[in-house]
Amino acid sequence: MINRIFSGTHILEKALDATWKRNEAISHNIANVDTPGYKKKEVVFEEELAKALSGSGFQGIKTRDKHIQIGSFSVDNIHPEVVERGSTKLRVDENNVDIDTEMTALATNTIKHHALIQKLNGELQRLKNIINEGRR
Q: Kindly state whether residue 53 falls inside one of the protein's structural domains.
A: no
Rounded to the nearest integer, the mean pLDDT of the chain is 83
Report the b/e string of 38-69 with b at 16+ CB within 10 A.
bbbbebebeebbeebeeeeeeeeeeeeeeeee
Distance CA 83, CA 128 (A): 39
pLDDT of residue 91: 77
Choice between 103 and 72, residue whose per-residue pLDDT is larger: 103
Q: Kindly state whether residue 52 falls inside one of the protein's structural domains.
A: no
Distance CA 124, CA 67 (A): 38
pLDDT tens for 75-100 read 677 888 999 987 777 678 888 999 99
Residue 5 has pLDDT above 80, yes or no: no
Q: Say what angle helices 46-53 and 7-31 make with each other, to 10 degrees.
A: 160
pLDDT of residue 1: 43
Structural domains in the chain (count): 1
Domain that holds residue 115: 2-45+80-135
Q: Kindly state whether residue 75 falls inside one of the protein's structural domains.
A: no
Q: Kindly state whether residue 36 falls inside one of the protein's structural domains.
A: yes
Q: Kindly state whether residue 61 falls inside one of the protein's structural domains.
A: no
Choice between 5 and 47, residue whose per-residue pLDDT is larger: 47
Q: Kindly state whether residue 68 falls inside one of the protein's structural domains.
A: no
Instruction: Find, among 136, 135, 127, the residue nearest to 1 by Cα.
Output: 127
Q: Kindly state whether residue 117 falls inside one of the protein's structural domains.
A: yes
Q: Kindly state whether residue 17 falls inside one of the protein's structural domains.
A: yes
